[in-house]
Chains A and B, each alone.
Chain A
Amino acid sequence: MRRRSRVVLLLAGLVALAMTAGCSVGGPAQQKLTVTGSTTILPIAEASADMYQAAHPGTRILVAGVGSSQGIESVSQGTSDIGTSSRELAPEEKKLGLVDTKIALDAIAVIVNPSNPVRALTMQQAAAIFERRITNWSQVGGHDMPIGLVNRDEASGTRDAFSKIVLKGRDFDRTAAVLPGTGQVRAVVTESPGAVGFISLGFVDRGVKAVAIDRIRPTEATVADGTYPISRVLHFFTKGQPKGLAKAYIDFVLSTPVQDAVVRDAGFLPIDKALK
């Protein structure tokens, strides 16, 4: 019957469109590298992967941001070649025989709304705020306004580092908002006068104000010389010494053009300046 054939035609057309479009772009891959891990490092890994693939056609680097723990687990199990992590290895993870390559430095800034007069906090005050032992800005020299806590999701390396450095492993307040991304934290703090959160220094923009910790304001200089207390190292883990495509890719990430462009662009500090 004429009409029924038209329906089949329509559906077949849809698939054909998808198939042909596919051929024009993705070519067959010779060498494949999988890089999984921290959502914080995801931007760096993806951007450098794109640059590397552009420079070395025929290689395919698949990057996934599933969280530091997942990254460490999958590289130790071999389901991915490089595991990226924005936190140090947990004691039991040290036994997995992973080789650490440090690729960048991340300083975590405590941010408040620009209208909030508070400019500095001690480490203890910051901890007390995020554990909800302090609930009103007036208790730290601000207006009489309830504190709106903004936390990151449990998979976030930034949250993990903040918890270790500032809270010394104690629990975050459980009534805090849990947001899945840096940008959301920044947006919420920008729009809510009483909000407080923490993001990588690189992402601080005019919409928020970074607070000094123990009287040290977070700047490239204070992070580079190690005086700013809340900072962490970003790691690429490999099973044994990196070799082949993995080594080539890691060296590429450590190269100056990538460090200056990609790492800085992602809001982090190039590794070569600080630890040389």
Chain B
Amino acid sequence: MSAGSPREGQAQAPAPQDRGPAGNGGLSRISRATHLKEALLRNAFLVCACVAVAGVTLIFVFVGYQGWPIFAKLGIGEFLGGRVWYPTKGLFGILTLVVNSLLAMAGGLVLGAPLAVGTAVFLSEVASPRVREVTRPAVELLAGIPSVVYGFFGLVLLRPIIARVFGGLGFGLFTVWVILGVMIVPTIATLTEDALRSVPEGIREASYAMGATKWQTIWRVLLPAARIGIIDAVILGMGRAIGETMAVVMIAGNAPVIPDSIFKPFLTLTTVIVMDMPYASGDHRTALFGVAIVLFVISMIFVASIRVISRSRGEGD
């Protein structure tokens, strides 16, 4: 059968629709079956996508239902504004816990963010491929380590060192800052690196072409260009830091007061839950669910602010 000979003599390839070379009459209508199947599948996928929305709603409903009475009983002002958290005496003011959580997060950021951005810049701009081949898996592995291992490490190694060096018991904001700082590095570093990598190559070349050093290029051109991505990463890091529980509860010392030094024990929104939950009942248990609502709202605020920032950049999805 020489190549390209016309196919008149050829047996028709048995295809479902009759398709002679001259083409059949009209364009076939979408067969009901395929149309239905496609529509069915599309809706099934939509339902799966909506499970995420259902998830958030369910959390609000269930956690909200359990925690709502404390807001009703004390009123948001009293609950959020109350300075004293003393469950056995029926005092459920969580202002102290909110302040402590913010202090812990802030310190963690001050340590973690520069470390993370520095590592990200190193990975995307400075490291040679061979070095990058080692460093990136290290950062990813750092992200993989369970937070309870971070806490345990903090408790048995870091705390005694800080106790010996700075005096006191080793618990306190400083210890938490160190551990949180290390924990949020992977979160911020990977996102920052993505932001840096999405900066078009041409911008770097243009800057170098004008005689700028690597650092000038990074500082004056790259970081500003990736600014929005970095801010998003830092905000996500904040969310991770304020939501951390297991690592913090082992090294914070859990005293329900605002500590008068960074080496004194303190209690946060997350650690009060894990400390009190096993034995809390009645109003105390409701208050803990109330704290969970506050934590959930804070994390939503962070997500919303990322959305606002990225939309202000006019970046379409």
Binds A, one of B65-73, B211-219, B254-262: B254-262
Is A251 close to B, CB under 8 A? no
The residues of B that contact A179 with a CB separation of less than 8 Å are 253-254
- 0/1 interface trace, chain A 51-71, chain B, CB 8 Å (1 if under): 000000000000000110110
- 0/1 interface trace, chain B 225-262, chain A, CB 8 Å (1 if under): 00000000000000000000000000001111101100
- The CA-CA distance from A146 to B168 in the complex, in Å, is 8
Binds A, one of B17-25, B276-284, B309-317: B276-284
The residues of A that contact B260 with a CB separation of less than 8 Å are 175
What's the dominant secondary structure at chain B's contact region?
Answer: loop
Which one of A67, A69, A148, A155 lies within 8 Å of B169 (CB-CB)? A148
Interface residues of B in 163-220 (CB under 8 A from A): 163-164, 167-171
Which one of A176, A178, A194 lies within 8 Å of B167 (CB-CB)? A194
The residues of A that contact B290 with a CB separation of less than 8 Å are none
The minimal Cβ–Cβ distance linking A201 to chain B, given in whole angstroms, is 22
Given contacts A175-B259, A177-B253, A179-B254, contact A188 B170 (CB under 8 A): yes
The residues of A that contact B86 with a CB separation of less than 8 Å are 174
- 0/1 interface trace, chain A 31-58, chain B, CB 8 Å (1 if under): 0000000000000000000000000000
Please determine whether B171 and A70 come into contact, CB atoms closer than 8 angstroms: no
The minimal Cβ–Cβ distance linking B200 to chain A, given in whole angstroms, is 34
The minimal Cβ–Cβ distance linking B256 to chain A, given in whole angstroms, is 6
- The CA-CA distance from A33 to B253 in the complex, in Å, is 36
Which one of A178, A180, A184 lies within 8 Å of B255 (CB-CB)? A178
Which one of B259, B267, B275 lies within 8 Å of A180 (CB-CB)? B275
Given contacts A177-B254, A178-B253, contact A70 B275 (CB under 8 A): no
The residues of B that contact A69 with a CB separation of less than 8 Å are 279, 281
The minimal Cβ–Cβ distance linking B246 to chain A, given in whole angstroms, is 12
Interface size on A, residues (CB 8 A): 25
Is B82 close to A, CB under 8 A? no
Is B154 close to A, CB under 8 A? no
Is B88 close to A, CB under 8 A? yes
Please determine whether B88 and A178 come into contact, CB atoms closer than 8 angstroms: no
Please determine whether B278 and A67 come into contact, CB atoms closer than 8 angstroms: yes
Given contacts A73-B281, A175-B264, A191-B160, contact A150 B275 (CB under 8 A): no
- The CA-CA distance from A199 to B146 in the complex, in Å, is 30
Please determine whether A175 and B265 come into contact, CB atoms closer than 8 angstroms: yes
Chain B residue with the shortest CB-CB distance to A180: B275
Of the listed residues B169, B254, B275, the one surrounded by the most CB atoms of chain A closer than 10 A to its CB is: B169
Interface residues of A in 163-178 (CB under 8 A from B): 174-178
Please determine whether B170 and A178 come into contact, CB atoms closer than 8 angstroms: no
- The CA-CA distance from A225 to B265 in the complex, in Å, is 38
The minimal Cβ–Cβ distance linking B251 to chain A, given in whole angstroms, is 11
Chain A residue with the shortest CB-CB distance to B264: A175
Chain A residue with the shortest CB-CB distance to B155: A184
- The CA-CA distance from A153 to B271 in the complex, in Å, is 12
Given contacts A177-B171, A191-B164, A192-B168, contact A153 B275 (CB under 8 A): yes
Given contacts A150-B169, A195-B169, contact A175 B275 (CB under 8 A): no
Interface residues of B in 88-109 (CB under 8 A from A): 88
Chain A residue with the shortest CB-CB distance to B284: A154
Please determine whether A192 and B254 come into contact, CB atoms closer than 8 angstroms: no
- The CA-CA distance from A110 to B168 in the complex, in Å, is 18
- The CA-CA distance from A148 to B259 in the complex, in Å, is 13
Please determine whether A192 and B278 come into contact, CB atoms closer than 8 angstroms: no
Interface residues of A in 54-105 (CB under 8 A from B): 66-67, 69-70, 73
- The CA-CA distance from A150 to B88 in the complex, in Å, is 19
The minimal Cβ–Cβ distance linking A171 to chain B, given in whole angstroms, is 9
Given contacts A69-B279, A155-B278, A192-B163, contact A148 B255 (CB under 8 A): no
- The CA-CA distance from A53 to B205 in the complex, in Å, is 74
Please determine whether A177 and B169 come into contact, CB atoms closer than 8 angstroms: yes
- The CA-CA distance from A67 to B260 in the complex, in Å, is 31
5 smallest beta-carbon distances between A and B, as pairs: A155-B279, A67-B279, A178-B254, A177-B265, A177-B253
A binding-site residues for B, Cβ under 8 Å: 66-67, 69-70, 73, 146, 148, 150, 153-155, 174-180, 184, 187-188, 191-192, 194-195
18 additional A-B pairs beyond A175-B259, A194-B167, beta carbons within 8 Å, are A66-B278, A69-B281, A70-B279, A148-B168, A153-B275, A154-B279, A155-B278, A175-B264, A177-B169, A177-B254, A177-B255, A178-B254, A178-B267, A179-B254, A191-B164, A191-B170, A192-B168, A192-B169
30 CB-based A-B contacts, threshold 8 Å: A66-B278, A69-B279, A70-B278, A70-B281, A148-B168, A148-B169, A153-B254, A153-B275, A154-B279, A174-B86, A174-B255, A175-B255, A175-B257, A175-B265, A177-B171, A177-B253, A177-B254, A178-B253, A178-B254, A178-B267, A179-B253, A187-B156, A188-B159, A188-B163, A188-B170, A191-B159, A191-B160, A191-B164, A191-B170, A195-B169
